[in-house]
Structure 1
């Protein structure tokens, strides 16, 4: 299990800032200089938070940081209270940390239909055999506005910069592997801001899930039935301030919309229904 002497203090600061909806002006503590240190903070977040884990996110590490962090991808937790199913409703209201980092990403989402096999190494084909694939989205948000600029050490420490997951329509197995054909588009406030496809995820979505399985194994964790996996952005990372409206389209699969609102502090009184 990774170790970092400052992990507990950093994790406590991130958890409190998210719970209280406080903005962090700077990274709380020494910035982890390598993956072991960053994942040590993430493990402390998982140990200290009462929230139930629902799955994981995978993201590419920008080329400029790969020499320092010696990996092409990074991972972070997704919590159950931040997952919304949008296949039927076609719409979601998502909460972001106002004043911090706020963005939306069109993604393809893997859902485990069985526990991952107990073997040393899982291939993309192993994951595909026990999973469904869905159109979806990651909501990225953090109390630290500069989190992406600071790089993987910061991102991994704070949930992988994850604040939510939208799981949309299912994708036929006949399209698996034809990643160029799974096109995606993102609109923010009516403007097309990005286009892409599942091919933008290196090796395709199931390769991202296989990377996750290998990374979790180094921490004594395994993928389980019901886990969801956000596999990486396909149209870019797009800022969504409070009040923004977004539409995500997946050609031949379906679409959904979302409205962005400010997160309320966990101890605040609940909003009253209108009328």
Structure 2
């Protein structure tokens, strides 16, 4: 880690040990640039391959000030869902744990220029999946420091769970999420800002600006379709993508990144 990265060091220790923090470590980054610097330091300390990128949203009240609607975080865990058996969604006990139903795209090649249209963006995608983003942080107050705390703590991503493939022509279907059998949200992928391919274009812009580094084969978790839903260890989430695709996961306590 570079000098002055006490925030990254504290987050690294918490993620390695699986132990929650009392609060987000100070000093909290005050700019997007500072937050992405902490993110890079934390990734370097964890020392594992970057398997993809998640895309989240900037709080509405800060969009005009920051000139951005989205934020990015690296994905360090990816697991395939196995048919009807619920996947394992690891969350930090005493921290923040949420589940998000998402469209997940696989990048076939890295663009060498900014992408101007959905059609152009789709030419860089070779697979589309239904899936979950598991979002969890060892800092219980991380959302109080959005977007800077979220970006710094690797986008609070704690893994992707990959479900069935979806057709490019019909992935924009109604999605319904349930927690413990109770409906908690619904929506369509393309109703979220300018849709999943807009998320990809955003990441390409960050790549071209030198903020992140995309690689072929990475997975892109394109944004929460039905909302951000709190989940606790032992609870099960289910998401229905249209009438035919169903995925499920059960939250468990994260034992730490070394496990």
Q: Establish whether TM, by shorter chain, passes 0.5.
A: yes
Residue 64 (1) aligns with residue 58 (2): no
| TM-score, length of structure 1 as denominator length | 0.87
1:165 paired residue number: 160
1:99 maps to 94
- Match in the other structure for 1:208: 199
Aligned to 1:271: none
* Contact 2:114-2:201 within 8 A present in 1 as well: no
Q: Does the CA-based 8 Å contact 2:132-2:160 persist in structure 1?
A: yes
Following TM superposition, by how much is the alpha carbon of 1:127 offset from its aligned partner in structure 2, in angstroms? 2.5
Aligned residues: 257
Give, in whole Å, the separation in 2 of the partners of 1:59 and 1:266. 22
Shift in CA distance, 254/118, structure 1 to aligned 2, threshold 3 Å: same
Q: 1:125 aligns with which of 116, 119, 127?
A: 119
Determine if contact 1:184/1:235 at 8 Å carries over to the other structure.
Answer: yes
Distance 1:20 1:222, change over 3 A: closer
- How many Å separate the matches in 2 of 1:53 and 1:266? 14
TM-score by length of 2: 0.92
Change (3 A) 1:202 1:143: same
Q: 2:220 aligns with which of 210, 229, 233?
A: 229
Could you list the per-position Cα deviations for residues 75-127 of structure 1 after superposition, in whole angstroms to 9, with x for gaps in the alignment?
Answer: 00001xx2111264553012110110000011111111x22232255643232
Matches for 1:193-272 after TM superposition, within 5 Å: 193-219=184-210, 221-265=212-256
2:142 is aligned with 1:147: yes
SS at match of 1:138: strand
Instruction: Give the 3-state SS of the residue equivalent to 1:174 in structure 2.
Output: coil
Aligned partners of 1:159, 1:89: CA distance in 2, in Å? 30
Q: Say whether the 8 Å CA contact 2:7–2:28 is kept in structure 1.
A: no
- The corresponding residue for 1:273 is none
- CA distance change for structure 1 residues 253 and 217 in 2, over 3 Å: closer, same or farther? farther
Which residue of structure 2 lines up, in the alignment, with residue 34 of structure 1? Answer: 31
Q: Cα distance 1:17–1:254, how it changes in 2: closer, same or farther (>3 A)?
A: same
Q: Distance in 1 between matches of 2:167 and 2:82?
A: 14
Provide Cα deviations, 1:190-242, integer angstroms capped at 9, x if missing partner. Answer: 10111111123211101111101111222264432210011110111111011
CA shift for structure 1 position 166:
1.1
- Computed over aligned residues only, the root mean square deviation of the Cα atoms, in angstroms, reads 2.0
Give distance in 1, aligned partners of 2:247 and 2:253. Answer: 20
CA drift at 1:67 = 3.8
- 1:59, CA displacement in angstroms? 0.8
Counterpart-to-counterpart distance in 2, 1:124 and 1:214: 14
Residue aligning to 1:23: 20
Instruction: Kindly indicate whether the alpha-carbon contact (under 8 Å) linking 2:114 and 2:204 is maintained by their aligned counterparts in 1.
Output: no
